């Protein structure tokens, strides 16, 4: 399996999950801005949408969307217990968190703040949105070590992969101590450290 990545992006999420699952994969770096594939080629011939992450399966199937990719990886390594069983209410709760990070946090807030064409005034609207979403996450983490309770799942990796963007958009996480503690807890996992190192430094300009 080939995982298309770019430093500083959501590809960190499946990268962590692959290492947690202990499954073999090849990481292929792309330039997020030019869409050049390291080693040659244009990424848009792989994923016409041009964004990462994307997972190319050995049979040629291309899977996009971080939330779908990490559930697929988790299901390939059930003994690692990275996602509850399909069809269970716990799995639906996991999907609710993955969707929360994708729609409410990533596309609904972080993405617009990163966008260079957006005014500072508009960015503040999206920082406000982050405030309500992080307040919700903070309340949940007051009573839960991990998002689904006592066990690490792909949802915790998703929280880490988006929350790491906070300093880059000048978003202050200090009002959310439970989020900060959870972020630090996930960041101490050897797989997370290894994924960060493998993804490499964020080029200038960042995403």
Ligand X SMILES: N[C@@H](CCC(=O)N[C@@H](CS)C(=O)NCC(=O)O)C(=O)O
Residue closest to 72 by CA, chosen among 13, 160, 8: 13
The size of the chain, in residues, is 207
Q: Does 47 bind ligand X (CB under 6 A)?
A: no
Task: Work out how close the CB of 3 gets to ligand X at its nearest, in angstroms, rounded to a whole number.
Answer: 12
CB of 175 to ligand X, least distance (A): 25
- Give strand ranges (E) for 42-193: 54-56, 62-64
CB of 151 to ligand X, least distance (A): 23
With CB under 6 A as the contact rule, the residue among 51, 152, 171, 176 that binds ligand X is: 51
Binding segment toward ligand X, per CB under 6 A, in 50-58, 116-124, 136-144, 184-192 = 50-58
Residues 93-122 that bind ligand X (CB under 6 A): 102
> Of residues 65, 77, 80, 145, which one binds ligand X by CB under 6 A?
65
Nearest to 111 by CA among 99, 119, 103, 100: 103
Cβ proximity to ligand X: between 10 and 141 the closer is 10
Question: Which CA distances in Å does 194 have to 177, 187, 190?
Answer: 25, 10, 6
Q: Which stretch binds ligand X (CB under 6 A): 46-54, 84-92, 133-141, 148-156?
A: 46-54
Q: How far is CA 47 from CA 4, 36, 37, 55, 62, in A?
A: 10, 12, 11, 10, 8
Measured from the Cβ of residue 201, the count of other Cβ atoms closer than 10 Å reads 10
List contacts with ligand X (CB under 6 A): 9-10, 32, 50-53, 65-66, 102, 207
């Amino acid at each position: 399996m080939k995982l298309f990545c770019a430093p500083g992006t959501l590809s960190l999420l499946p990268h962590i999950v692959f290492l947690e699952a202990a499954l073999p994969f090849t990481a292929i770096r792309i330039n997020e801005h030019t869409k050049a594939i390291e080693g040659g080629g244009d990424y848009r011939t792989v994923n016409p949408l041009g964004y990462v992450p994307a997972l190319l399966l050995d049979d040629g199937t291309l899977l996009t969307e971080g939330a779908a990719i990490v559930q697929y990886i988790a299901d390939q390594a059930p003994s690692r217990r990275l996602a509850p069983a399909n069809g269970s209410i716990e799995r639906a709760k996991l999907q609710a968190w993955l969707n929360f990070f994708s729609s409410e946090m990533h596309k609904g807030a972080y993405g617009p703040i990163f966008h260079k064409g957006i005014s500072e005034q508009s960015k503040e609207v999206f920082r406000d949105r982050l405030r309500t979403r992080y307040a919700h996450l903070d309340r949940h983490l007051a009573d839960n070590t991990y998002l689904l309770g006592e066990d690490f799942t792909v949802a915790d990796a998703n929280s880490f992969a988006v929350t790491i963007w906070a300093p880059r958009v000048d978003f202050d996480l200090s009002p959310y101590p439970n989020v900060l503690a959870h972020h630090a807890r996930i960041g101490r996992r050897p797989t997370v450290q290894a994924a960060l190192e493998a993804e490499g430094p964020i080029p200038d300009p960042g995403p």
